[in-house]
Structure 1
Amino acid sequence: MQKTFRATYGASFSPPDEIGDKPLDLDALLAAARRQLWVTVSAVLAVLVLGVIHFLTSVPIYTASSRVLIDSADSRIIEELSAVGGVTDDEASILSQVELLKSEELALAVVDDLDLTTDPRLWMGSGSLLSDLRNFIVSLTSLFMAEAAIQGEGEADHRSEAAEHLASNLFVVRVGRTYVLEISYASPRPQFAAEIVNAYAEAYLGDQLDAKYEATRRASSWMQDRIAELRQQALESDLAVQNYRAEKGLITTGGELLSEQELSQIARQLVEARAETASADAQLRSIQAIIESGEMDAVVSDALSMPVISGMRERYLEASRQEADISARLGADHATAVRLRGEMQEYRRQMFGELSRIAESYRSTLEMARTRQTNLEQQVAEATGISTTANDDLVQLRELEREAETYNSLYQTFLERYQVAVQQQSFPVTAARIISRAETPKKPSSPRLPISLAISAGLGMILGGGLGALREFRDRFFRTADQVRDELGVEFLGFVPVLQNTLRGRQNLAVRSGHGNGKSLVKTQSITTHVVDRPSSLFAETMRSAKLAVDLMVEHKAPRVIGLVSVMSGEGKSTVSMNLAEYLAKQGARTLLIDGDLRSGACSRALAPDADCGLAEVLLGTAPVARAIYRDHDSDMMFLPTSAKRSVPYSAELLASHTMADLLAAAGNSFDYVVIDLPPLGPVVDARAIADKMDAFVLVVEWGKTPRRLVRSTLRFEHLIADKCVGVVLNKVDIKKLKLYDADGASPYYGGQHPYYHESD
């Protein structure tokens, strides 16, 4: 048993309008591209035509170019000559020069230099259609301007407009990563373009000179004020040094304070005095040691430096030698020996006496040295105190001197820079130079046919793709079986192609049957028997699918009452109804076709246009069934038309009546299938009224015409019909277009080209 719409979505579920969030399907995208190929091609061709027209009607534009080098070497020279102005060697500085070339100030300089406010070459259009149209619109707008506003425009406004117009056609770019800037200007007049570019290059160099001169002039003015201030500060600092030196008595000679020189001299004298004292003390101690020892041998060292003591010692030694010699020969008691010993004793006394006198002399010298040393030490102490005080003052003095030196140094530096800056005001040196001047271009830069065609083709593809995507997005109709299953949740029964309706010979065969007088059908249109005439066609296969779906849903019941419905009128449900009934009858099933559309009666007009009574009269009881029924001689199908002679405004009540129920119950004794062509669901409620008497519904939807949302919303509210719907038939299918909706390689199936389908049978 197939699933129904209500079982799939529920009574309150509202399926989305679109397919929803699904992964990207490349096959679907390719299929959509194939479907919209003609839109894309048409857009490309249209835009190409416009591009060719634009190329043929456009006036050639010539572009002249000049190149300017931002010379870093010159910049370094200027940097050395002046403290102002920098070296433009970084990317930001180069880009700043690009913006400077595009500035209004430079454009105004070019306007003034070439007197462009009165030059018609600047104001004339390019000659293209777009330019002429723009100028025409501007001129129309100017007509509505107030006279006062026009008179209020001065020369300055005119210069600004000329500068703005000039800058609109100027292009300045940096050449790669170099220090070269390329200046280009586009104009229909090649000579004028070259003049503009060269004027821009010269104006740029002039602006550089003016800017540098102005910067130097401002720096010089500032330096003058600064120099005067530094001069006053230097004078004040020097005066402070002199005043402090005089106040503290910090007199210097040879770069050194007098107190420090005096302390140094006293210190040297003190060292000498201490050395003298030590020497005198040593001599005194040595003499005293000799005297205290009383040894003649100890006198030797000092006797050598004292002539008196040395003579006495020689005599002493001579007497000692003689006494020893006489004592040895004559004896120690000899008078001569005694006399000599007395002389020796006298000599000894005289020597030690002389040493005592010398010792006293050394003692006196020592006292004098000590006295001198003491005096010098006192002088050093006094000088040290003075020097300490002077050093404290000297620290402050040196601070004042450093401050004075700083101000003097700044004053000298600024004075030198001021002299250089004054000289630099007349230096015609810039950080840029022209390395190539613009020449009159020989060939136009635009338009170019290959580029125009390429751009037109690209724009055409974009436009065509956009239109195709919009068409795909706006395609809200049923095209494929998957859309039917995904959107409605019911089975897809098949496609019914667009049928070519041809006239047939009028049949008036009076064939007797068991039903009354046996009126025969009058089939004047080929579409009413298409499934019988072409049993191997796609249409016939769709009818087989519909019969199988009905048989699977409705088992062991006779008759099987099948309602053919559509959402809107004109979807071809009557054609499907007639062919389904013909197919069932041709298969040997006893089939009754009822035209249940009491308002339209399309089946009645096709099969029984001369009927004088029908379903309406049967339900109203004004005519018996046997009188209203018709029979098809070829298939034995029975047909109950509606009334072709009267309008039935209360058709829903008749279809829902007990008489209709009795009619269907009675049909169960004579027929296996009852096929009822019902009115559309959208305009009227007739199908809803008879829905409880139906066993199954077949929904006919026109391919590419009926909106999916309308079908979905209709089935959502028609629960009984949705529950009994066995499937959907897509009618009036354009087989050629259907191939374009192939996303899975099923073109032969969708296109009706399967070997089992033979539309020519």
Structure 2
Amino acid sequence: MLSPDKVSAHADEDWENAGAGDTIDVERLVAVVRRQWRIVAVCMGIFAILGLVYILTAVPKYTASTSVLIDRGNSQIANQMQASVAAALPIEDDASVLSEVELFKSDSIGLAVVDKLKLLDIPEFTSPARSPISMLRSLLNFRTWFASDDVAADDIDTLRHNAADKIVADMDVDRIGRSYALSISYTSTSPELASKIATSIAEAYLVDKLNSKYDATRRASEWLQERIDELKQKALDSDLAVQKFRTAHGLLSTGGQYQLLSDQQLSELTTQLIGAQADTARARAKYERVKSIIDNKRTDAIVTDVLDNSISNDLRKKYLEASKLEAEISARLGPDHVQAVRLRSEMAEYQRLMFEELNRIAESYQSELQVAQTREKSLQDSVTQASSVTAAAGETQVQLRELERTADTYRNLYQTFLARFQEATQQQSFPITDARIITRAQVPTAPSAPKKPLILALAMALGAAFGGAIGAFREYRDRFFRTGEQVRDVLSLEYIGHVPAIDAKEAGSGNKDPESVRGLQNGNGITNYVVNHPLSAFAETMRSAKIAVDMENTSTRCKVIGVISCLPGEGKSTIAVNLAQLLAMQGSRTLLIDADLRNPGATRAIGRHAEQGILEVLLEGRPLKDVLLLDNKTKLAFLPAVVKRRVPHSSDLLSSSIMVNMLDELKAHFDYIVLDLPPLGPVVDARAISPMLDASLAVIEWGRTSRRVVRTTFAVQPEVMQKCIGVVLNKVDTEKLKLYRSYGSGEYYYNRYSAYYHEA
């Protein structure tokens, strides 16, 4: 069981790992590359070989290119020659250029090239592809078995279209930059044929452009001719309808326009009425002016007719002279002088006569005003009468204008279509296209395919991708324990160390004691590896386990240690035997008990010759001293498990009071008791005996046992795992272990402290 300090340490480590997970772990990626680079290299090599085979066996192909310019200048010249406004559609945008590209891929171009070069006589265009699928399809076509040698017209047409499709498939049309030039490339196994077909494609394009323009113009001319005849008749009918309407309603021609008589009269009367109103206003102004002068007795006011009247002028002159003389006499002799009084009476007479003359002028102005008003009233009555007549004739005018608009419309359409018809007729006479060939195809001297460097690079890239996929899948499937960090992170248990995988031949033949049936037999040398190699990494890991046991149970005199694993075959028995050997070799009284009553691995390894064991002690009451085996070198005692028949209730037997009494008896004679327990996964024996344990040591096979199954199995065994001092990774491949190391881990510095180990 982990102490609180260890749990806290694991929590801190988990927090650090969680924070590191937010970014890309470059070190982990590098480690993945180091582990899987061989797979990637092998796949790259295989694909490179396949690429070389393809390069060596592929038929070389040659590509010839020609260039066509969509020339807008020719269209402008043609338009000038034709004096036409409607020119060929200029190419001004990308959509138009792409339309021209698609035109090269049309059936009309392909069939024209096939017919011009007689490509049906060339086997390349008539023979089917020699692939296994096409050959099988031809064999399954039963109609070809009984077909005659004569080729029908339908078959020839099919061959022509197939050849055209092949031309389109082997042709490549691209726009050159942002210009109006198009590059046409054709690829074939024959360089001469590639050049001919590329040139023929460009020429067929020009001919197709000419033909399409001629056909379009011809169709437009025919359509225009039909519309012209129709519009001509409609224009005549509309003009005739206008003329009949004019005659029926008495329309007269005045200044090029046709009006009703009432309209013309109304216009003239309105003009006269406006003049009469002006005359009336002028007469009223003159009369009111003279009237205001008379009413105000103003002798100094000026009136035009007074200035032209001699009587008024003489009276005014006399009035002024008398006024002047009166002023002088009054100033010299006084205003009451006889002469001054006489002069003032004369001035009054002159003034009376002047106003009498103004009254006569006012009477003439009044007469003029009355005449103007009478004339204005007469004209107003005439305008009113003419307006009523015009209002009554409004419907007639609306109909007339509608008929005139219809006639004008048909007349304009007729003239427009005549002009267009002349333009279309002229365009048929000038077969000028808006495209030309600017670069003719040359016979290629070097093959364009296969591109050997590109194919080889692509093959290697595909190999790398395939190998990377395999490596990624292997990494995804690699869900085993590889490092101590994984043990701590996944299981939250202490990592004791790892035990390298040992070859039986390198471990030695072991030792056998044939003279004594009570001695241990180490047949393959692995079971006593720590004895023969005390300075090895194997032995150092066992020492770490011993220290962990001692630190976990410092107050206990005899320590009962259970060695467990999750699955069978993980090397649990080997670890248990070597741990017991190490404890005994260090001078401790040590007993090894094979508690796996169903599959006694320790007994098969070192006590195969035993005839009695723990079952006889528990079931038959045999004395322990009669069944124990002893290693003469390390003084290790071993209680085997001789299974002569199936034990159906092994868990009950291990958890029985007899087993408890036996362990209590053994604790008085030994310092360490190591129990080789059954795996936790398949049976519950280890769980049953867990209350008797002081500590347990978990063994996990490196790179073979899934982390998920270990985590799940340990989670359902809380009684056993609470006493677990740590985990030992067994059968570790030290060379591969380097590939899983990370910076700062124990595996990273393994090469530095491996000098302390001596396997010899």
C-alpha deviation, 1:621, in angstroms: 2.2
C-alpha deviation, 1:420, in angstroms: 1.6
Q: 1:623 to 1:394 in 2, by over 3 A?
A: closer
Q: Give the AA of the match of 1:486.
A: D
* Bigger shift: residues 84-93 or 571-580: 84-93
- Superposition RMSD in Å: 4.3
Matched-pair contact (CA < 8 Å) for 1:738–1:750: no
Q: Give the AA of the match of 2:433.
A: T
Report 1:157-236 matches (<5 A): 157-236=158-237
Q: 1:300 to 1:591 in 2, by over 3 A?
A: closer
Q: 1:681 to 1:752 in 2, by over 3 A?
A: farther
User: 1:161, 1:257 → 2: CA distance?
Assistant: 72
Q: Give the AA of the match of 1:462.
A: A
Match of 2:591, SS state, is strand
C-alpha deviation, 1:737, in angstroms: 0.3
User: 1:565, 1:262 → 2: CA distance?
Assistant: 131
2:102 paired with 1:106:
no
User: 1:603, 1:446 → 2: CA distance?
Assistant: 69
Report 1:407-446 matches (<5 A): 407-446=410-449
Match of 2:89, SS state, is coil
Matched-pair contact (CA < 8 Å) for 2:714–2:721: yes
2:496 paired with 1:493:
yes
User: 2:466, 2:94 → 1: CA distance?
Assistant: 40
User: 2:690, 2:637 → 1: CA distance?
Assistant: 22
Deviations 1:553-574 (A, max 9, x none): 4342342211112222221112
User: 1:26, 1:97 → 2: CA distance?
Assistant: 51
C-alpha deviation, 1:22, in angstroms: 6.2
Residue of structure 1 equivalent to 2:451: 448
Q: 1:3 to 1:716 in 2, by over 3 A?
A: farther
C-alpha deviation, 1:647, in angstroms: 4.3
Matched-pair contact (CA < 8 Å) for 1:496–1:731: yes
User: 2:266, 2:584 → 1: CA distance?
Assistant: 151
Q: 1:84 to 1:226 in 2, by over 3 A?
A: farther
Q: 1:381 to 1:495 in 2, by over 3 A?
A: same
Deviations 1:458-487 (A, max 9, x none): 112111111111110111221111222222
Deviations 1:685-712 (A, max 9, x none): 4333433332322121111111222222
2:50 paired with 1:50:
yes
Matched-pair contact (CA < 8 Å) for 2:571–2:701: yes
Deviations 1:519-557 (A, max 9, x none): 433334432232234344322232233223333443423
Match of 1:690, SS state, is helix
Residue of structure 2 equivalent to 1:237: 238
Give identity over the alignment, percent.
Answer: 44
User: 2:415, 2:63 → 1: CA distance?
Assistant: 55
Matched-pair contact (CA < 8 Å) for 1:518–1:629: no
Q: 1:39 to 1:262 in 2, by over 3 A?
A: closer
C-alpha deviation, 1:60, in angstroms: 1.0
Matched-pair contact (CA < 8 Å) for 2:630–2:637: yes
Residue of structure 2 equivalent to 1:675: 674
* Bigger shift: residues 246-255 or 172-181: 246-255
Matched-pair contact (CA < 8 Å) for 2:563–2:696: yes
Report 1:284-433 matches (<5 A): 385=386, 389=390, 397=400, 400-433=403-436
Residue of structure 2 equivalent to 1:634: 633
Q: Give the AA of the match of 2:759.
A: S
Q: Give the AA of the match of 2:46.
A: A
Matched-pair contact (CA < 8 Å) for 2:64–2:442: yes
C-alpha deviation, 1:238, in angstroms: 1.8
- Tell me, which stretches of 5 or more residues in structure 1 are unaligned? 9-18, 126-130, 279-296, 302-362, 511-516
2:31 paired with 1:31:
yes
2:502 paired with 1:506:
no
Q: Give the AA of the match of 1:92.
A: A
2:126 paired with 1:145:
no
Q: 1:506 to 1:635 in 2, by over 3 A?
A: closer
User: 2:533, 2:380 → 1: CA distance?
Assistant: 151
Q: 1:256 to 1:172 in 2, by over 3 A?
A: closer
Deviations 1:145-179 (A, max 9, x none): 34289969744433333333332222122111111
Report 1:523-602 matches (<5 A): 523-602=522-601
- Tell me, which stretches of 5 or more residues in structure 2 are unaligned? 9-18, 283-309, 315-363
Match of 1:495, SS state, is strand
Residue of structure 2 equivalent to 1:725: 724
User: 1:507, 1:103 → 2: CA distance?
Assistant: 91
* Bigger shift: residues 732-741 or 456-465: 456-465
Residue of structure 2 equivalent to 1:325: none
Match of 1:69, SS state, is strand
Residue of structure 2 equivalent to 1:289: none
User: 1:530, 1:734 → 2: CA distance?
Assistant: 17
Deviations 1:623-671 (A, max 9, x none): 4211221223333322222227x34444445433333222211111011
Q: Give the AA of the match of 1:632.
A: D
Residue of structure 2 equivalent to 1:698: 697
Residue of structure 2 equivalent to 1:475: 478
Deviations 1:62-105 (A, max 9, x none): 11112222223334556774748522211111112222222344
Provide TM-score, normalisation by structure 2.
0.75
User: 2:61, 2:20 → 1: CA distance?
Assistant: 51
* Bigger shift: residues 32-41 or 181-190: 181-190
C-alpha deviation, 1:33, in angstroms: 1.0
Deviations 1:705-731 (A, max 9, x none): 112222222223333223332222110
Matched-pair contact (CA < 8 Å) for 1:82–1:417: no
Q: 1:598 to 1:236 in 2, by over 3 A?
A: same
Q: 1:23 to 1:382 in 2, by over 3 A?
A: closer
* Bigger shift: residues 408-417 or 216-225: 216-225
Residue of structure 2 equivalent to 1:708: 707
Residue of structure 1 equivalent to 2:623: 624
Residue of structure 1 equivalent to 2:330: none
C-alpha deviation, 1:747, in angstroms: 7.2
Match of 1:36, SS state, is helix
Q: Give the AA of the match of 1:31.
A: A
Q: 1:616 to 1:547 in 2, by over 3 A?
A: same
Q: Size of the alignment, in residue pairs?
A: 651
Q: 1:222 to 1:257 in 2, by over 3 A?
A: closer
Q: Give the AA of the match of 1:754.
A: Y
User: 1:248, 1:629 → 2: CA distance?
Assistant: 148
User: 1:378, 1:699 → 2: CA distance?
Assistant: 132
Matched-pair contact (CA < 8 Å) for 1:495–1:729: yes
Matched-pair contact (CA < 8 Å) for 1:599–1:647: no
Residue of structure 1 equivalent to 2:460: 457
Match of 1:526, SS state, is coil
Match of 2:116, SS state, is helix
Matched-pair contact (CA < 8 Å) for 2:269–2:382: no
User: 2:517, 2:271 → 1: CA distance?
Assistant: 167
Q: 1:618 to 1:206 in 2, by over 3 A?
A: same
